[in-house]
Amino acid sequence: MKKILRLLSPYFWLKIFLYLANKRRFKRVGVNFRFDPFSSISYDRIVVGDNVYIGPNSHISAELEIGNNLMVGPNFVVLGGDHLFGIKGKRARFIKPCNDSNQGKIKIGEDVWIGANVTILKGVVIGDGSVIGAGSVVNKNIPPYVIAVGMPAKPKKRIFADDDLIYHLKELKYSDKTILDVLDTRKGYIDLPVFDNSKLAETDYTYEID
C-alpha cells in the first residue's frame, strides 16, 4: 500500500522529473549516481564518478571533482570560494571578486565516506579511502585512508596498517605506482593509531557491488 501511495504522490513524480532534468546539467556524470534534486548544486562545475550517493539537502557551490564510490550523508555543504571583506570604505556585502580570485577547486578521492552535516571549504583534497566524521569542517587536505573529524577536521586514526593497506589496494587492483603514492602521502601520519575492525565478522555484513 505504501508503494502505491508513493506512486500516486505528485511530489514523487516531481522529484523524479527534477532528478532526470538536473542530472544532465552536471559537467560529467558516471553510472549509478544518486542525489537529491531539491539540493542546491552548481551543476556545470561538477565532475562525478561511478557509484556515487549524495544525501539530501546538500549545498554545493564549487568546482568539484568526485571520485568513484563516494557516499555522503545529509546536509552536505561544499564551498569553493569565500567573501572579501576588511577593505577600507567598502561594504563587504557589495564586494565582488574578479576572475574567480576567491575560488579553489575541491577534489574528493575514491571510496570516501563523508558523514552527515560536513562542510568542505575551498582548495581541499580528500584522499582515497578516507572517512570524514559527522559535523566536521574540512579546511585542509586530508590524506588517504584516515579517519578525520573535528572543526577543523584532523586525522585521528589510520584505516589499515601499511602492510594491510598494501594488501587492500592490491585487491582493489591499484597499480604499484599508485600504491606507493598512497603510502607516501600518508607517511606523515604513521604515529596515528590504526582503526580496529577485528571484532567485525563476515556474518555481520554483505558485500554486493551494484
**Residues involved in catalysis:** 83
- In sequence order, which residues have a C-beta less than 8 Å from that of residue 27 and are 6 or more positions away? 43, 44, 45, 46, 47
Question: What backbone phi and psi angles, to 5 degrees, belong to 172?
Answer: -90, 5
- In sequence order, which residues have a C-beta less than 8 Å from that of residue 63 and are 6 or more positions away? 45, 46, 80, 103, 105, 106
- In sequence order, which residues have a C-beta less than 8 Å from that of residue 180 and are 6 or more positions away? none
CA atoms within 13 A on the CB side of 50: 3
Q: Which three cell numbers stand for residue 118?
A: 560536513
Nearest to 130 by CA among 167, 105, 155, 162: 155
User: How many other β-carbons are positioned within 10 Å of the β-carbon of residue 103?
Assistant: 18
